[in-house]
Every structure is written in structure tokens, then in C-alpha cells.
């Protein structure tokens, strides 16, 4: 089973997952990092960890449709079976979705269905909620609406700043994502064998 991680930015979740693959904690092989920002720090993390990396932008492809076709070609070239979104700040379109139905998971920094979309941590903090959370889910054509694999609450403390809450949400992501990914990959392996 070959997995690709799609990321757009810093890559802390990518690095956590890559180290779990390299330690043998996750089934299969991390075969590819794809990043839609060639200068993003995640590219340097991939190089340091020895993970093959490919990067190009929507603009360099001349539009979203051509971008998705080129990305699908890369995924097929690397014989990717499963896709993990780790801070990939693009909506995955139908070209990829139909080829990887129920084979793409995402990490979202909120207790879905609360706060889908962008700025979830900031919105939960601004609403003075007592807690927020982290959700790992399969993606579908909707916005953060696919079937949930795992969730974990993160309390919002009276002493929290937006930054301290964000740190705790990220710490929770780093713990939950490898466990949820292992669950998803194990289930897919059983289904196919």
C-alpha cells in the first residue's frame, strides 16, 4: 500500500506521519509528498526525511482542471493507493475524488461539524467556547463533510490565548492523526485482502 501526503505549508503533521511510517508504526510506504507551493517549508522537511517530493502550482498548470489532471498523473506514476491531506489548503476536485473514492483522509482543527472551512481555531476562540477539537475524516465533495474516522476534544482554557490554543490543537493533531491513519489503512488492507 503506497501513501501520498498532500501539504501546502510548514509540514509539522507531514513530519510526524513520515516518522511513523519510517518507524514501521503505519502500514505500507510513504511514497510521495506533493506540495502546491514549491517554496513551502514542508519541501525541505521531505528532503531531510528522504521522502520523494513533487511540487507545482495551479498557475503553472494554467488552471484548476489542468492542475488536477497533472496531479492525478503524478499520483498514478508513483502508484499511490491512499492520500493523506496534511494542511493541504486546496479543495480536492472531482478528478482526484473519483479516482480515490474513500481513499483520501483529512485532518481538521475543530470538532466537526462545528467550524468547517478556514480559521476554525480562531472562530472557536472568538466564540468563547469551552472546547474545540480535532477531527480526522474521509473527504467527499462537500466542505469538511465526509465520514468521521476519529475525533478528540481540546478544552479552551480561561487562560488561553489564540496562540496557546493553537499549540494545544496542533499537539492533539500530532497524537490523533497517526492513530486514525493506522485505523484507516488497516481497514483498507483488510477490505482488499
Which residues are annotated as catalytic? 108
Residue linked to cell 531531510: 48
What residues form the annotated binding site? 11-13, 64, 106
Q: 22, 96 in Cβ contact below 8 A?
A: no
User: Rounded CA gap, 67 and 57, in Å?
Assistant: 7
Q: 108 to each of 26, 43, 83, 101, how far by Cα in Å? A: 20, 21, 15, 19
How many secondary structure helices (H) and strands (E) does the chain include? 7, 7
Asked whether the CA dihedral 86, 54, 185, 15 is positive or negative, the reply is negative
How many C-alpha atoms does 106 have within 13 Å on its Cβ side? 25
Q: Which residues are annotated as a binding site for (6R)-10-formyltetrahydrofolate?
A: 64, 106
Amino acid at each position: 500500500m503506497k501513501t501520498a501526503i498532500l501539504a501546502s505549508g510548514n509540514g509539522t503533521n507531514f513530519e510526524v506521519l513520515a516518522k511513523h511510517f519510517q518507524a514501521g508504526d503505519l502500514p505500507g510506504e510513504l511514497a510521495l509528498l506533493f506540495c502546491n507551493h514549491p517554496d513551502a517549508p514542508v519541501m525541505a522537511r521531505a528532503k531531510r526525511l528522504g521522502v520523494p517530493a513533487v511540487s507545482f502550482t495551479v498557475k503553472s498548470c494554467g488552471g484548476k482542471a489542468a492542475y488536477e489532471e497533472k496531479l492525478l498523473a503524478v499520483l498514478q506514476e508513483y502508484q499511490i493507493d491512499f492520500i493523506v491531506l496534511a494542511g493541504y489548503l486546496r479543495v480536492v476536485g472531482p478528478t482526484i475524488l473519483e479516482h480515490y473514492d474513500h481513499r483520501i483522509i483529512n485532518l481538521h482543527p475543530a470538532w466537526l461539524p462545528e467550524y468547517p472551512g478556514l480559521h476554525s481555531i480562531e472562530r472557536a476562540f472568538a466564540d468563547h467556547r469551552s472546547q474545540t477539537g480535532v477531527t480526522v475524516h474521509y473527504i467527499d465533495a462537500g466542505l469538511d463533510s465526509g465520514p468521521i474516522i476519529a475525533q478528540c476534544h481540546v478544552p479552551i482554557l480561561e487562560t488561553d490565548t489564540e496562540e496557546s490554543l493553537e499549540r494545544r490543537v496542533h499537539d492533539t493533531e500530532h497524537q490523533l492523526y497517526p492513530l486514525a491513519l493506522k485505523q484507516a489503512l488497516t481497514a483498507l488492507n483488510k477490505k482488499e485482502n
